[in-house]
Amino acid sequence: MKVILNQDVFNLGEEGDVCEVARGYARNYLLPRNMAVVFNTANQAYFESRKAFIEQKKEEKRKAAMSMKERIEDITLKIPMSAGDSGKLFGSVTTATVMNALHKLGIELDKKQIDVPSHTIKMVGSYTVTVKLYEGETAELKLTVVDERKKQEAESAPARKPAEAVTAEAEASAAPEEPQAKQEE
């Protein structure tokens, strides 16, 4: 069955494209969701009249993809995960994990656009994740999976104070309070 797409459909085409799809796919998925219309002369004429507008939207998507590519390639994403002593994770880093970490940084991507090597990461280390952008453009995201415990230990180590400094602070804070207590009596 021939249809004309009303919007971009992943793995099928972009707005205004004429596609040949299975009847059931068109009838049960594309048409009820208003993602496509049946190919006929009236609909074809309508999309021909909107051709300039559609091309303008495509150009905007290309520019957005290029800026997104630059932004993604400048990032080194660190994901803390629970891991054993050997570096094996208690769980795994998936496309959803990467997507959520990118959302926290303000980068909105769909899970289908992220390609994690071998579908999941199960060891601590550095990896390269491919992000699919508009029109076959891809970006390489640097991803570092770190052990959650070691990260917490590294963050808490500089915060610890020597015992001498702690006792000196305790004595200094206790000394001014005693004279104030005598003045209040």
Query: pLDDT tens for residues 151-172?
Result: 666 666 555 444 444 433 444 4
Domain for residue 89, yes or no? yes
Looking at the structure, do residues 79 and 141 belong to the same domain, yes or no? Answer: yes
Number of folded domains that form the chain: 2
Tens digits of residue pLDDT in 29-84: 999 999 999 999 998 898 888 888 888 988 888 888 888 888 888 888 888 888 88
Looking at the structure, do residues 37 and 80 belong to the same domain, yes or no? Answer: no
Looking at the structure, do residues 129 and 81 belong to the same domain, yes or no? Answer: yes
Give 2's strand partners.
20
Domain for residue 179, yes or no? no
For residue 15, the enclosing domain spans 2-49
Least confident piece of the model among 1-15, 140-154, 167-181: 167-181
Length of the chain equals 185
Domain for residue 23, yes or no? yes
Q: Residue 163, exposed/middle/buried by CB under 10 A (0-12, 13-18, 19+)?
A: exposed
Looking at the structure, do residues 31 and 88 belong to the same domain, yes or no? Answer: no
| 46: three-class secondary structure by DSSP | helix
Report pLDDT for 154: 63
Amino acid identity of residue 69, one-letter, is K
Report pLDDT for 185: 44
CA dihedral defined by 88, 99, 130, 18, rounded to 10 degrees?
A: 140
- Give percent of the chain with pLDDT exceeding 90: 16
Domain for residue 45, yes or no? yes
Domain for residue 121, yes or no? yes
Largest CA distance in the chain: 98
Average pLDDT for 6-28: 89
Looking at the structure, do residues 30 and 101 belong to the same domain, yes or no? Answer: no
Whether pTM > 0.85 for this model: the answer is no
Report pLDDT for 25: 93
Q: State the CATH number of the domain containing residue 136.
A: 3.10.430.100
